[in-house]
Amino acid sequence: MEEYLVPTGFGEDEFVEKKSRFLGRVWPADTEAEALSHIEEMRKQHYDATHNCWAYIIRDGATRFSDDGEPGGTAGMPMVQVLQKEGLYNIVCVVTRYFGGTLLGAGGLVRAYTKGAKIAVDAAGKSMKRVWTALYIPCPYPYYERLKLLCEDMEAVIRDTQFTAEVELEVLVAAGKCAEFQEKLTDMTAGTVETMVLGQEYRAFPVKDAKGSEQP
């Protein structure tokens, strides 16, 4: 199965540019029908807005967008380009504009709708959808902090931790990195810690940003 980035969840943010109010929103959407449902929801909620521009990318479907009355190429396409640059799939974005009385020009509109999409994506966060191998790891306390660092270095997810006679962890490791993870764990603990494979899952988990913090 392929791995790819998806939005972690719903995200929204807004800003004002020359008295025009821009509201950016992003949702996960696995199908075009789901994407269109969110778009229609925003049209109804913001029926009094000047424009409700939108874009979506569906992994096994289509890439579509609308300028919703803005000059051609100044809204929907810049929004699609943001989603593509971020590497996201199964995502729908709506940027709503309430006109403030001052024309922004073509360049200003492109920048505004680009910003509206980007701040919504940032608010939603990113998750990587891939095949994960679930491991049970009984870890002696002296190795616990080093194990956490190993997980961080290999982008593994600690899903559960129980503090008993030793630290019992359930860790999800990208399937393609599982052998490497186990080898490094063996070297780190001089072979004193053995893992048990619990199974595999195909799902999304949040990824870390460039600063190393987990996205929302």
Query: Could you report the per-residue pLDDT of 105-126, keeping only the tens digit for each?
Result: 999 999 999 999 999 999 999 9
Per-residue b/e over 6-30, b at no fewer than 16 CB within 10 Å? bbbeebebeeebeebebbbbbbbbe
The domain spans of the chain are: 4-124, 130-206
Is the pLDDT reported for residue 211 higher than 70?
A: no
Class of domain 4-124: alpha beta
Q: What would the pLDDT profile of 22-78 be if each residue is shown by its tens digit?
A: 999 999 999 999 999 999 999 999 999 999 999 999 998 899 999 999 999 999 999
Alpha-helical (H) ranges within 62-143 are 76-85, 105-124
What are phi and psi for residue 23, nearest 5 degrees?
Answer: -115, 115
Given this model, what pLDDT does residue 3 score?
A: 87
Q: How far apart are the first and last CA of the chain?
A: 25
Q: Which fold has domain 130-206?
A: Alpha-Beta Plaits (3.30.70)
130-206 shares the fold of 4-124: no
The CA-based angle 73-78-82, given to 5 degrees, is 165
pLDDT tens profile 155-202: 899 999 999 999 999 999 999 899 999 999 999 999 999 899 999 999
* Average pLDDT of span 86-95: 97
Q: How many CB atoms lie within 10 A of CB 175?
A: 16
Q: How confident is the model at residue 207 (pLDDT cuts 50, 70, 90)?
A: confident
Nearest one of 116, 147, 133 to 205, comparing CA atoms: 133
Look at 214 and 111; give whichever has higher pLDDT: 111
pLDDT value of residue 208: 59
What's the Rg (C-alpha) of the chain? 22
